[in-house]
A and B are shown apart, each in its own frame.
Chain A
Amino acid sequence: MSWTLLDKCCEKCTHSLDNPCPDYIECRVNGPLCHSDKKCKELRKKRLEEIQYGAVGAKIKIPLSSCTLASGAENIYEAVKDYVEKNGLKISISISGCFGLDFLDPWIEFTSKGMPTAIYANVKPKDIPRLIKEYFEEHDVSSAYVLKNKTGKAKGEDKVPLLDELDVWKKQYRWVSRNCGIVNPESLEEYIATGGYRGLSRSLKMSPEQVIDEILKSGLRGRGGAGFPTGIKWRITREQKVTPKYVVANADEGDPGAFMNRLLAESDPFRIIEGLTIAGYAIGANQGYIFVRAEKPLMASRLQKAVEEARKYGLLGKNILGSGFDFDIEVILSAGAFVCGEETALLAAIEGRRAWPRQRPPYPAQKGLWGKPTAINNVETLAHVATIMAEGAEAFASVGTEKTKGTKMFCVTGSVKRPGVYEVPVGTSIRYLVEELAGGAVEGSAIKAVQIGGPSGGCIPASKLDLPLDYETLQSAGAIMGSGGIVVINDKNCMVDVAKFFLTFTSAESCGKCFPCRVGLKILWDILDKITRGQGTEEDLVVLRHVANTVKYASLCALGGTAPNPVLSTLRYFMDEYEAHIKDKTCPAKVCKALITYTINEDKCIACGQCAANCPVNAISKQESGKYSIDVDKCIRCGTCYVVCPVGAVEKHSRGRRRSGGEMKW
């Protein structure tokens, strides 16, 4: 293997694992620092160029992370490898993480010396030979989606926009996700080449108290949901007299529709490890744990690989960078329940017990893992820590609101044109995120509400989209920041059904320790189910509110404390829909099966017979007129005919069928 940035440049370098140099990190890119040698400087310059363009001057980068793998990036990787090997091309192949722009997936990046770096979106394996030929042989970039830079030497450059000019890129404030999709997540060298580990190097030259002061000055608050100031948490943990102490990174991200932690850990795992090491140094811990959700295997293996790599180069282990500070990290797979994200349950899971939360106080900062003081931070918080220590607190605090500084990653999913992860300053309006970055609602629909904070967040109506995204405002609007998942709900969704959907998740994930959550959520679900079946009474609404409030205030942990939020917020903003279900027995959005009917419009029907052929219960038959009609008694309202009809003759009605006696039939 050729020389890498992590190796010694010449014999004069005194760095070794037994006797580490405090300036090791700075020396890698800007060096050599301890001696001046033109040759050593050239060596570094050449290697940096190699990282950018590959050892042979041409490079293909394929993103391998869960989201791109799901859209077929592995096939593309194979196709590229096959083609390059078969034709004996001089192109190096490397992997990268994900931009967070999921509408591009799977994408592929071509770089070559003298040519602009081109990104091709929504690539299929069969396109690969054509694209490689176009780019590397014909120097034509006209079919690229976006370019990273322009050189004026390639054909069709003018037609393709620059990445920095794209709305989705320039309107973001990429602070902690700066490396996502850009560096190779499995290479420590690339991380250091892009400025990584400078934060740790700087921290180790300061005293732990100074590090805590720096974090306090930056005003960083926990990005896991509750928004507790990180510096205060560390100070409390540091002030405890009991030793040993522990630090834990909470990477147990379980919200449906939230994947920013996964993106970060899969695309830039070293940043998290660096942040955790700084946290360990600040509070005086020698052992750290990363608690990863077992359902995200790639995230776990990337973190594991990163830990091993850092250990290999002395960035974990004994006497890190000659500071006398020992620290090691263990990656632990979670027990696989949503409640594991709750910090006390997480600690129980690490200890090998059943993942049950316990009553706080005592807080983990006083009595945590094995009864010792423990600081638990979300991985996004830790990535922020690494960046703050590298760039300084002022740069971080320059954006954000009065109470919450900095940026936050948000996942926008659901009914939007450009779903993905976007990083914006805290306090940005929901409208900016949903309409400017994510492109607004998909064609033919309008935004009705946004669900913020995952299944235990609240539904905020479209009329309140101008609310700023910060902890306090969201709380008073009935939602929570949570981990930052935003699910956009369009006008084809019934809000009662949405509330029921989220409760299905939380009631199944309730651990069962305290019964307001265990029984209360079940009863809430039962009532919502009753309402969607059209059997609700006005009494039910009173019971719904009473039980939801009791569950919210009386539950033991945050899972129960926030789980009724979908019910309470929909009751607050969408009371008219509940009333329509209960009083008129209609479902305005035409979703609840018991409250809708399907009919065939004879004027539109072209008698093709597709509906009758596809009906699973044979409820559709031919009439004397030659047209088709639905027997409402047999119909199970599966909606198949509505989907298959080529001319849209099948119509949905927001009212259940009445029997002759006036009684509803379900």
Chain B
Amino acid sequence: MVNVKLDGVEVEVEPGTTVLEAAKKAGIEIPHLCTLKDLYNGASCRLCLVKTTRGKLVPACAYQVYRDEEFTVNSLELKRIRKVNFELLLSFHKIECWKCERKGDCLLASLSQELGVEGIPVCSQCPLPPEECLLTKGILCLGMITSSGCDAECITSGGQCWGCRGPITRRDVLERAFKRYEELGFNIDDVLFRAEIFWNSVPAFEKLKKVAAEVRGGKK
């Protein structure tokens, strides 16, 4: 048995255990995406990076412990690297949560909450299945252009989203969202009028209005 020290928490594990397993045993959570026990252990996503005492960053999912070792799991530096890393991954993801099967059960969405990355709409947490979406029933909901993180409380209790968590800033997501509004027969002016209630003085709202104008203009 070897002693592993993770951020000062000591835990005793079998030699050959990965840092990720040791952390689970110690009750410490390390964000991770790609590792699947017995299936894939390629250390591709690099979200589970931890720091050794020699200052090297190693992936917790693939690094096996054979002797007493100490790791830093959470520090400002690691958080920043994980965050940029996750933003890189998200930048290539086509975010269309309102159409997605996995909403409510999405690893990306929950990780984005954990790492503080913005840009995923409220739809990712919506409890309603796609076919029962409020928008398909003609009820104006701002979920598609609002940052997630509220657990979609309003929708869970039967209401619609009013956008209190602020607008999404990613351009391609906004474009798709406004197109979806138009598809469903909403007037973009109505959407913006509703959005102004919370976002009137938010700088990102100006950008959002520009995108909306472009989507509308492109149709003409």
Contact = CB atoms under 8 A, between A and B. Distances in A.
Interface of A: 356, 358-359, 361, 513-516, 519-520, 523, 546-547, 549-550, 553-556
A361 B42 CA distance: 12
A202 B145 CA distance: 76
Interface residues of B, number: 20
A515 B84 contact: no
Nearest to B41: A359
B63 A550 contact: no
A551 to B, nearest CB: 8
A515 B46 contact: yes
Q: Does more than half of chain A's interface fall in helix, strand or loop, or is it mixed?
A: helix
B187 interface: no
Contact of B43 (A359, A519, A523): A359
Given A513-B42, A515-B45, A516-B46, A553 B88 contact: no
Contacts, number: 56
Interface string B64-89: 10000000000000001100110011
B85 A550 contact: yes
Nearest to B62: A359
Nearest to A358: B42
B92 to A, nearest CB: 6
B57 interface: yes
Interface string B23-59: 0000000000000000000111110010000000111
B91 interface: yes
Identify the 9 closest CB pairs spanning chains A and B, nearest first.
A550-B84, A359-B62, A359-B43, A519-B88, A554-B46, A514-B44, A550-B81, A520-B88, A553-B57
Given A515-B88, A516-B88, A523-B91, A556 B46 contact: yes
A242 to B, nearest CB: 16
Contact of B44 (A546, A550, A553, A556): A556
A556 B43 CA distance: 8
A516 B80 CA distance: 13
Contacts of A513: 42, 44
B91 A359 contact: no
B46 A555 contact: yes
B57 A554 contact: yes
29 contacts: A358-B42, A359-B43, A359-B58, A359-B59, A359-B63, A361-B63, A513-B42, A514-B44, A514-B45, A514-B46, A515-B44, A515-B45, A515-B88, A515-B89, A515-B92, A516-B85, A519-B91, A523-B88, A546-B80, A547-B84, A549-B81, A550-B81, A553-B57, A554-B46, A554-B49, A554-B85, A555-B46, A556-B43, A556-B46
Given A515-B89, A519-B91, 7 more contacts: A514-B44, A514-B46, A515-B85, A516-B88, A555-B46, A556-B43, A556-B46
A515 B82 CA distance: 12
Nearest to B49: A554
B91 to A, nearest CB: 7
A97 B81 CA distance: 49
A271 B64 CA distance: 39
B43 A514 contact: yes
A524 to B, nearest CB: 10
B132 to A, nearest CB: 34
Contacts of B59: 359, 556
A516 B64 CA distance: 22
Most chain A CB within a 10 A radius of its CB, from B43, B44, B46, B49: B46
A452 to B, nearest CB: 24
Given A514-B46, A547-B84, A555-B46, A519 B92 contact: yes
A549 B64 CA distance: 26
Interface in B85-139: 85, 88-89, 91-92
A67 B172 CA distance: 50
A553 B52 CA distance: 13
A516 B62 CA distance: 17
A452 B176 CA distance: 45
B81 A554 contact: yes
A304 B18 CA distance: 43
B22 to A, nearest CB: 16
A546 B45 contact: no
Nearest to B44: A514
Nearest to A548: B84
A356 B91 CA distance: 23
B169 to A, nearest CB: 13
B175 to A, nearest CB: 18
Nearest to B46: A554
Contacts of B43: 358-359, 514, 556
Most chain B CB within a 10 A radius of its CB, from A361, A514, A547: A514
A15 B91 CA distance: 69
Contacts of B85: 515-516, 550, 554
B41 to A, nearest CB: 8
Contact of A547 (B44, B46, B88, B92): B88
A254 B117 CA distance: 38
A359 B35 CA distance: 13
A356 to B, nearest CB: 8
B47 to A, nearest CB: 9
Contacts of A519: 88-89, 91-92
Contacts of A356: 42
Contacts of B88: 515-516, 519-520, 523, 547, 550
A547 B43 CA distance: 19
Contact of B81 (A359, A361, A514, A553): A553
B199 to A, nearest CB: 22
Nearest to B59: A359
Contacts of A556: 43-44, 46, 59
Most chain B CB within a 10 A radius of its CB, from A358, A549, A550: A550
Interface in B134-170: none
Contacts of A520: 88
A358 B43 CA distance: 8
Contacts of A555: 46
A331 to B, nearest CB: 30
Contacts of B84: 546-547, 550
A546 B77 CA distance: 11
Nearest to B45: A515
Most chain B CB within a 10 A radius of its CB, from A547, A554, A555, A556: A554
Nearest to B88: A519
Contacts of B91: 519, 523
Nearest to A517: B46
Most chain A CB within a 10 A radius of its CB, from B62, B84, B91: B84
Contacts of A515: 44-46, 85, 88-89, 92
